[in-house]
Amino acid sequence: DGGITQSPKYLFRKEGQNVTLSCEQNLNHDAMYWYRQDPGQGLRLIYYSQIVNDFQKGDIAEGYSVSREKKESFPLTVTSAQKNPTAFYLCASRQDRRNTEAFFGQGTRLTVV
């Protein structure tokens, strides 16, 4: 089955720790995205990547880092510099051309304990 997979579904982080959220797609999509969603809020763009080995900051990149070494993978690291990381994180992908829809994973809920 083609799709986009995020893991884990739930993640707990101690203060001061870095954690990495996984996002994998087998849709052969060029573009991949990371969004953060706080309760009752919209999606805010953290980082996006249009091609392997290239990525751009979104609106709230501080305290986060990404890599894009393979087309199908776009992991997000939440660093200790992110002071309020508790949120729902969503990964998406789509073809990098005009007028295409995005496909989303099921999300990772990160909680700081």
Partner 1 sequence: SQQGEEDPQALSIQEGENATMNCSYKTSINNLQWYRQNSGRGLVHLILIRSNEREKHSGRLRVTLDTSKKSSSLLITASRAADTASYFCATDQKTSGSRLTFGEGTQLTVNP
Name the site residues for partner 1 (rule: CB under 8 A). 6, 30-31, 33, 35, 40-45, 48, 50, 56, 58-59, 88, 90, 92, 94, 96, 98-99, 101-107, 109
C-alpha–C-alpha distance, residues 26 and 33, integer Å: 15
Q: Measured from the CB atom, is 49 or 82 closer to partner 1? A: 49
Q: Measured from the CB atom, is 35 or 64 closer to partner 1? A: 35
Q: Measured from the CB atom, is 11 or 92 closer to partner 1? A: 92
C-alpha–C-alpha distance, residues 79 and 57, integer Å: 15
CB of 80 to partner 1, least distance (A): 26
The secondary structure of residue 30, as a DSSP letter, is S
CB of 33 to partner 1, least distance (A): 6
- Starting at the earlier edge strand, list the strands of the sheet with 19-25: 4-7, 19-25, 76-78, 64-66
Residue 46 dihedral angles phi and psi, to the nearest 5°: -95, -60
